[in-house]
Structure 1
Amino acid sequence: MSRPITVVTGGSRGIGAATCVRLAAEGHDVVLGYVRDAGAAEETARQVRAAGARCVAVRGDTASEADVERLFDTAAELGAVTGLVNNAGVTGPITRLADAGTDVLRRVLDVNVLGCLLCCRRAARDMAASGGGAIVNVSSAAATIGSPGTYVHYAASKAAVDTLTLGLSKELGPDGIRVNAVAPGIIKTDIHAAMGAPDRPVTATAGLPMARPGEAEEIAGAIAWLLSPDASYTTGAVLRVAGGM
């Protein structure tokens, strides 16, 4: 049997990097999309290759149609794409909506919603032509709690991802394509430092039932399961991996 070929956006760091390494260990070849950190992307690619998988790192912005097309064109050089992990996402700085800049709002929606749509559209075309596949969108627990005072714009964008997951799963089921999502809670990655709150993984999880932030590898495990044959009858699901949030 041929190896699955999976595209992972935002694959250079955090949840994306952990997902690339986990999928390689489970027999996937990986096409790693990243937006700026070539060094981090190459380190992740090195770990993927060390696991015996093929890996190509492709620089590009998922909010750009041309970049998305180039990402999938590159993936097609390895063979038929069987999986997509829509992980690329941004939050912008922590702020009330009234204080958020329009440029921040636009960037969050462009990456988290438009980028996800563009990748899903291309994956739907390619997978339908080749006999099926699986898509996993990375949502957020923020989609159902709203994140007031922090980033309601980000929460709204992830609620859109949940709706996309549900609708697309119904649309693509007859084509043999499963579409699911994982909704992480607060995970220890550098996204918190980027939003201006590096201590947030500790301070914001004290009241959770599990009383700790999650690890990127825990989310990667959920993503890997949704891509696997063990999840062959699972579509339209949003799997919450949030420590009880």
Structure 2
Amino acid sequence: MDQVLLVTGASRGIGAATALLAAEKGYAVAVNYATNRHAADEVVASIRAIGGRAIAMQGDVAHEDQVMALFEHVDRELGPLTALVNNAGVVDMKSRVDEMSHERLRRMFDINVIGSIICAREAVRRMSTLHGGRGGAIVNVSSAASRLGAPGQYVDYAAAKGAIDAFTVGLAKEVAAEGIRVNAVRPGLIETDIHASGGIPDRVAQLAHQVPMQRGGTALEVAQAIVWLLSPDASYTTMSLVDVSGGR
């Protein structure tokens, strides 16, 4: 039976790299996107070009009804879910806390925290042996910001990722005896276009000197950690927060 993986926010960056690498390892992959259908279709085309199974699925994780529809679509099109990567996330323009609006904070937590928890809830309902599932794995994409704080730029983002760390630990303990492993990766400075969406397209170059390895990482380097955590090779690993940050 196929290993079926849903990657949220998989049209670009770490999500796209994860979807492609997982497909190479034999997973059937649901490539979720919120708005960029063209980019998601390109990821699907790349997977199919190597003989893999993949479909693109729209769904904004900030909206519960869209998450429900997304999981139901996976059920119909790919079969029983065995893996979830909670990758969908946003940053905002750099700002001090005393300049942040309620609207900004609501968007940040709706997508980065509540959306991930709702997705995990739906995955557990399908994978837990308590619910008749066959087990599986969840990997949450956190950030090194959860322990660095991102002062003067993205304290709200760091706080949201801190919530993801705590959620990872709690959920891992909750479902460990039900065949589900739950872990997180915490990327550091990674070369993706999320920095441009936060108004600092050259952020990696600006801060690379603070990284002991003296460079930013790649989306593939993060994806390799994620796919390992999903795999049977990590069969005794749960509740782990894995830093992929070049030592920062």
TM class, shorter-chain normalised?
over 0.9
1:88 CA displacement? 0.2
1:53 CA displacement? 1.5
In structure 1, the residue matched to 2:30 is: 31
User: Kindly, what percent of the aligned residue pairs are identical?
Assistant: 50
In structure 1, the residue matched to 2:202 is: 199
Could you tell me which amino acid in structure 1 is paired with residue 48 of structure 2? R
In structure 1, the residue matched to 2:243 is: 240
In structure 1, the residue matched to 2:166 is: 163
In structure 1, the residue matched to 2:18 is: 19
In structure 2, the residue matched to 1:45 is: 44
Could you tell me which amino acid in structure 2 is paired with residue 105 of structure 1? L
1:63-107 residue CA offsets vs partner (Å, 9 max, x unmatched): 111111111111112111000000000111111111122211110
**In structure 2, C-alpha distance between the alignment counterparts of 1:170 and 1:74, rounded to whole Å:** 28
Whether 1:57 and 2:60 are equivalent positions in the alignment is: no
In structure 2, the residue matched to 1:127 is: 127
Say which SS state the counterpart of residue 81 (structure 1) adopts: coil
**In structure 1, C-alpha distance between the alignment counterparts of 2:52 and 2:169, rounded to whole Å:** 31
**In structure 1, C-alpha distance between the alignment counterparts of 2:95 and 2:13, rounded to whole Å:** 23
Superposed, 1:65-214 pairs within 5 Å as: 65-77=64-76, 78-128=78-128, 129-214=132-217
1:3 CA displacement? 2.0
Could you tell me which amino acid in structure 2 is paired with residue 119 of structure 1? C
1:205 CA displacement? 1.4
1:51 CA displacement? 2.2
Q: Which 10-residue stretch deviates more, 210-219 or 49-58?
A: 49-58
1:240 CA displacement? 0.3
Say which SS state the counterpart of residue 2 (structure 2) adopts: coil
Aligned alpha-carbon RMSD (Å): 0.7
Say which SS state the counterpart of residue 44 (structure 2) adopts: helix
**In structure 1, C-alpha distance between the alignment counterparts of 2:25 and 2:44, rounded to whole Å:** 15
Say which SS state the counterpart of residue 47 (structure 1) adopts: helix
Could you tell me which amino acid in structure 2 is paired with residue 217 of structure 1? L
**In structure 1, C-alpha distance between the alignment counterparts of 2:24 and 2:55, rounded to whole Å:** 16
1:207 CA displacement? 2.2
**In structure 1, C-alpha distance between the alignment counterparts of 2:127 and 2:204, rounded to whole Å:** 37
Whether 1:215 and 2:208 are equivalent positions in the alignment is: no
Say which SS state the counterpart of residue 206 (structure 1) adopts: helix
**In structure 2, C-alpha distance between the alignment counterparts of 1:52 and 1:126, rounded to whole Å:** 26
Q: Report the TM-score, using the length of structure 1 for normalisation.
A: 0.98
Q: Report the TM-score, using the length of structure 2 for normalisation.
A: 0.97
TM superposition outliers: structure 1 runs of 4+ over 4 Å:
none
**In structure 2, C-alpha distance between the alignment counterparts of 1:187 and 1:28, rounded to whole Å:** 25
**In structure 1, C-alpha distance between the alignment counterparts of 2:48 and 2:133, rounded to whole Å:** 25
**In structure 2, C-alpha distance between the alignment counterparts of 1:208 and 1:142, rounded to whole Å:** 13
Say which SS state the counterpart of residue 134 (structure 1) adopts: strand
1:187-207 residue CA offsets vs partner (Å, 9 max, x unmatched): 100000000000101111112
Could you tell me which amino acid in structure 1 is paired with residue 115 of structure 2? G
Whether 1:4 and 2:35 are equivalent positions in the alignment is: no
1:87-133 residue CA offsets vs partner (Å, 9 max, x unmatched): 00011111111112221111010000000010000001000132210
5+ residue gaps in structure 1?
none
Could you tell me which amino acid in structure 1 is paired with residue 227 of structure 2? A
